[in-house]
């Protein structure tokens, strides 16, 4: 268990700067918005003080975020979480005081001591598991669990920095459209605009464990947009993870939350590894991986097994069909247990001095408390991104796809033009918005020249979108043609003669071709841009209903047109069928 230091480091000057009733004894870390000091209360006890920078202190949003952090921390009481002691978010220089955890951040610890193995990795995983259990039991989602926000104190983790935590009954953090977090440790569903859930933290937990086990970010380093694309597509690098554990950890980092194993499953596998037993993987009834007991495992007495199963189920209820552990293996403590706090609870915003804690000398920590932006841990915010937290307009986009397929069955060349035009426009919008978001991220916020720069760059974005559309469109076209001939051949085998260029083969081929472009290589830009365009076309419920009705009517009308032409499409502006060479013209 970690303890809080009560003795200041040696060699400090006799006089200190002060902040409220606290003396500032040293610098723990700093970032663009705030500074974290090692502080001393009136009794000489060490605390951590997170203060906004003077030029940020006047920003109401920054103050509100600090106040939210106080309210969030007050909900959580657990020895693996740095508890709030005092705060003044309304003062001339707002600050928050938390328990001082005398240890380095996890990333610095790994750099100095090397990756975690065996029992050490299990201890880290279990400590973070218990901390997240307590956080979630309080109705809070941390959202930014990463190595820089985990301090290692006496070989145990302490979770810090709740600056962007999400509270279950607080809608403000999901309605602002802010991308906030750290690339490589922010879950794929949050990047896609899905609601914030506990699965977000468990994904960050697995990503943090991967870092601890390898000493490298699982999604690499480099440009922010490249890292985010790797996260969305699940392109991680787990080289260095124990080969027996790698498949399970890879499953925990999959982009689809429903396909991930429970945290209890991962803990149980780590428990087996720590005891020298290799987790046995097998395919369960659902077709997904399960961890089976080692053949040497002894059978626990019935009462012990029932208690273990009850405790494990209470900590992490596995999803239907997800990866799970067959034996009942306790995870080493209740995830939601509050635990004893080293300090008495203090109301926020009070100016009273925090009570004493057990005395231990502070350890060498270096920059900590989640405020130093590392090269591979650049925070994605606070930067406005209009794609996050907004409706996907799935129904309308499905209707649009159906309309394109129906148009292809009647006017194929016009349908090709419409599909290519939409793709170019959607990709241009996505590239422009992405460039603006990244520019604001690098600048630390919005600038007055953002619009002018976006307009100046628009021709280049249009050119890049056109090239991308042509490259991905060729694959979609090849798939469409292949499906057309496959449908024609299949219908002939069934005794129903259909030319490859008939309405039905073209419609089916167009649907499959659109699906290929949507989900295939380079499709993420098309998906994001299409959703933005559709949200712009359907801003309200009435417009959504009208557009949906028009798309349905268009599909029905084009279907009727195809029937009237006996399934023979119009190839204008071509003068003949590109396959048969027959001249069809405009006639019925």
**Strands laid side by side in the 95-99 sheet:** 17-19, 22-30, 34-40, 46-52, 95-99, 84-88
306: domain CATH number? Answer: 1.10.510.10
Residues 6 or more apart from 484 whose CB is under 8 A from it? Answer: 500, 501, 505, 506, 508, 509
In this predicted structure, the answer to whether residue 316 has a pLDDT above a threshold of 70 is no
Ramachandran angles phi, psi of 181, nearest 5° = 150, -165
CA distances from 485 to 156, 393, 414, 505, 581 (A): 62, 32, 21, 7, 16
Residue 96: per-residue pLDDT: 87
**Where residue 549 falls among pLDDT bands split at 50, 70, 90?**
very high
Cα 334 off chain centre by: 26
Choose between 317 and 232: higher pLDDT: 232
Considering 59-63, 422-426, 580-584, the range whose residues carry the highest mean pLDDT is 422-426
Task: Output the six-digit token pair for 65.
Answer: 């975020």
Helices H, strands E: what count in the chain?
Answer: 17, 14
Residues 409 and 336 in one domain: no
pLDDT, mean of residues 423-429: 93
Residue 144 is a catalytic residue: yes
pLDDT, mean of residues 381-401: 69
**Quick one: residue 181, left, alpha or beta (phi over 0 = left, psi -120 to 50 = alpha)?**
left
**Quick one: residue 108, left, alpha or beta (phi over 0 = left, psi -120 to 50 = alpha)?**
alpha
Put simply, whether the predicted model's pTM sits higher than 0.85 gets the answer no
Q: What is the dihedral of CA 230, 234, 238, 244, to 10 degrees?
A: 180
Domain that holds residue 205: 106-341
Does residue 482 lie in a domain region? yes
Q: Which residue out of 41, 108, 130, 144 is catalytically annotated?
A: 144
Give yes or no for a contact between 471 and 463, defined as CB atoms under 8 angstroms apart: no
Residues 412 and 532 in one domain: yes
Residues 416 and 334 in one domain: no
Binding-site residue numbers are 50
**SS3 letters across 318-386:** CCCCCCCECCCCCCCCCCCCCCCCCCCCCCCCCCCCCCCCCCCCCCCCCCCCCCCCECCECCCCCEECC
Short-list 93, 75, 91, 79, CA closest to 35 = 93
Does residue 461 lie in a domain region? yes
Residues 325, 330, 333, 334: is their CA dihedral positive or negative? positive
Q: pLDDT averaged over the chain?
A: 74
Q: What is the dihedral of CA 213, 362, 160, 377, to 10 degrees?
A: -50
What letter does residue 258 receive in the DSSP assignment?
A: G
pLDDT, mean of residues 79-105: 87
pLDDT, mean of residues 359-386: 42
Does residue 45 lie in a domain region? no
Residues 437 and 525 in one domain: yes
Cα 300 off chain centre by: 39
In this predicted structure, the answer to whether residue 233 has a pLDDT above a threshold of 50 is yes
Task: Output the six-digit token pair for 543.
Answer: 């417009």
Residues 417 and 495 in one domain: yes
Give yes or no for a contact between 327 and 268, defined as CB atoms under 8 angstroms apart: yes
Give yes or no for a contact between 49 and 30, defined as CB atoms under 8 angstroms apart: no
Q: Which residues pair with 179 in a beta bridge?
A: 383
Residue bearing tokens 């978001």: 437
Give yes or no for a contact between 90 and 63, defined as CB atoms under 8 angstroms apart: yes
Residues 403, 408, 410, 413: is their CA dihedral positive or negative? positive
Residues 120 and 199 in one domain: yes
Binding-site residue numbers for ATP are 50
Mind listing the pLDDT tens digit for each residue in 151-204?
999 989 999 876 544 444 333 333 233 344 567 788 888 777 777 788 888 999
**Where residue 358 falls among pLDDT bands split at 50, 70, 90?**
very low
Q: What is the dihedral of CA 534, 537, 538, 544, to 10 degrees?
A: -90
Choose the final residue of a domain: 341, 371, 400: 341
Does residue 435 lie in a domain region? yes
Does residue 35 lie in a domain region? no
Residues 180 and 302 in one domain: yes
Counting Cα atoms < 13 Å in the Cβ hemisphere of 41 gives: 21
Does residue 49 lie in a domain region? no
Mind listing the pLDDT tens digit for each residue in 476-514?
999 999 999 999 888 888 877 888 888 889 999 999 999
CB < 8 Å & 24+ apart, contacts of 251-259: 251/288, 251/289, 251/323, 252/202, 252/203, 252/206, 253/203, 253/206, 253/207, 253/210, 253/218, 255/188, 255/189, 255/231, 257/187, 257/189, 257/197, 257/199, 257/203, 258/319, 258/321, 258/322, 259/288, 259/322
Does residue 64 lie in a domain region? no
What letter does residue 81 receive in the DSSP assignment?
A: B
Give yes or no for a contact between 497 and 491, defined as CB atoms under 8 angstroms apart: yes
3-class secondary-structure state, position 179: strand
Residue 41: per-residue pLDDT: 87
Residues 299 and 443 in one domain: no
Residue 302: per-residue pLDDT: 39
Q: How far apart are CA 73 and CA 167, in angstroms?
A: 10
Residue bearing tokens 């992405």: 434
Residues 534 and 454 in one domain: yes
Residues 336 and 417 in one domain: no
**Where residue 443 falls among pLDDT bands split at 50, 70, 90?**
low
**Where residue 437 falls among pLDDT bands split at 50, 70, 90?**
confident
**Where residue 16 falls among pLDDT bands split at 50, 70, 90?**
low
Does residue 205 lie in a domain region? yes
Residues 310 and 216 in one domain: yes
CA distances from 232 to 141, 236, 254, 382, 468 (A): 20, 10, 9, 20, 19
Tally of structural domains, the chain: 2
Residues 252 and 179 in one domain: yes
Give yes or no for a contact between 291 and 279, defined as CB atoms under 8 angstroms apart: yes
**Where residue 214 falls among pLDDT bands split at 50, 70, 90?**
very high
Q: Which residues pair with 504 in a beta bridge?
A: none
Residue 513: per-residue pLDDT: 92
């Amino acid at each position: 268990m970690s303890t809080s230091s009560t003795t200041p480091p040696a060699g400090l000057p006799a006089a200190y700067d002060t902040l409220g009733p606290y003396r500032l004894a040293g610098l723990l870390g700093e970032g663009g918005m705030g500074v974290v000091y090692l502080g001393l209360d009136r009794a000489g006890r060490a605390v951590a003080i997170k203060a906004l920078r003077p030029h940020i202190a006047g920003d109401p949003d920054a103050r509100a975020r600090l106040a939210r952090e106080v309210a969030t921390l007050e909900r959580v009481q657990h020895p693996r979480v740095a508890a709030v002691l005092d705060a003044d978010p309304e003062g001339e220089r707002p600050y928050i005081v938390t328990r001082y955890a005398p240890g380095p951040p996890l990333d610095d610890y790994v750099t100095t001591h090397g990756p975690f193995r065996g029992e050490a990795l299990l201890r880290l995983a279990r400590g973070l598991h218990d901390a997240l259990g307590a956080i979630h039991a309080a109705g809070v989602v941390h959202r930014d669990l990463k190595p820089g926000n985990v301090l290692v104190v006496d070989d145990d983790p302490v979770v810090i920095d709740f600056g962007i935590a999400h509270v279950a009954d607080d809608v403000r953090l999901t309605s602002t459209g802010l991308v906030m977090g750290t690339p490589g440790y922010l879950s794929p569903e949050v990047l896609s605009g899905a609601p914030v859930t506990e699965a977000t933290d468990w994904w960050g937990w697995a990503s943090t464990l991967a870092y601890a086990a390898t000493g490298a970010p699982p999604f690499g380093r480099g440009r922010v947009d490249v890292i985010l694309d790797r996260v969305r597509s699940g392109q991680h690098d787990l080289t260095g993870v124990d080969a027996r554990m790698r498949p399970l950890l890879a499953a925990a980092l999959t982009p689809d939350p429903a396909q991930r194993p429970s945290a209890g499953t991962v803990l149980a596998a780590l428990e087996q590894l720590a005891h020298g037993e290799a987790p046995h993987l097998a395919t369960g009834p659902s077709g997904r991986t399960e961890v089976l007991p080692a053949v040497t495992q002894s059978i626990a007495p019935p009462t012990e097994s029932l208690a273990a199963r009850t405790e494990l189920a209470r900590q992490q209820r596995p999803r239907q069909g997800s990866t799970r552990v067959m034996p009942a293996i306790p995870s080493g403590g209740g995830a939601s247990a509050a635990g004893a706090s080293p300090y008495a609870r203090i109301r926020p915003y009070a100016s009273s001095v925090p009570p004493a804690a057990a005395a231990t000398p502070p350890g060498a920590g270096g920059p900590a408390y989640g405020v130093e932006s590392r090269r591979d841990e650049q925070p994605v915010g606070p930067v406005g991104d209009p794609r996050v937290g907004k409706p996907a307009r799935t129904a309308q986009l499905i209707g649009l796809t159906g309309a394109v397929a129906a148009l292809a069955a009647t006017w194929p060349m016009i349908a090709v033009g419409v599909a290519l035009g939409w793709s170019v426009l959607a990709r241009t919008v996505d590239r422009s918005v992405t460039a603006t978001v990244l520019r604001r991220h690098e600048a630390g916020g919005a600038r007055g020249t953002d619009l002018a720069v976006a307009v100046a760059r628009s021709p280049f974005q249009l050119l890049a979108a056109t090239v991308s559309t042509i490259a991905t469109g060729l694959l979609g076209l090849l798939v469409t043609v292949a499906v057309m001939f496959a449908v024609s051949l299949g219908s002939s085998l069934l005794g129903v003669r259909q030319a490859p260029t008939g309405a039905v083969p073209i419609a089916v081929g167009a649907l499959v071709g659109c699906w290929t472009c949507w989900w295939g290589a380079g499709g993420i830009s098309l998906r994001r841009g299409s959703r933005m365009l559709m949200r712009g076309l359907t801003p309200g419920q009435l417009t959504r209903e009208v557009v949906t009705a028009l798309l349905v009517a268009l599909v029905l009308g084009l279907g009727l047109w195809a029937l009237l032409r006996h399934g023979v499409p119009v190839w204008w502006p071509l003068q003949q069928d590109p396959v048969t060479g027959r001249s069809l013209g405009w006639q019925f």
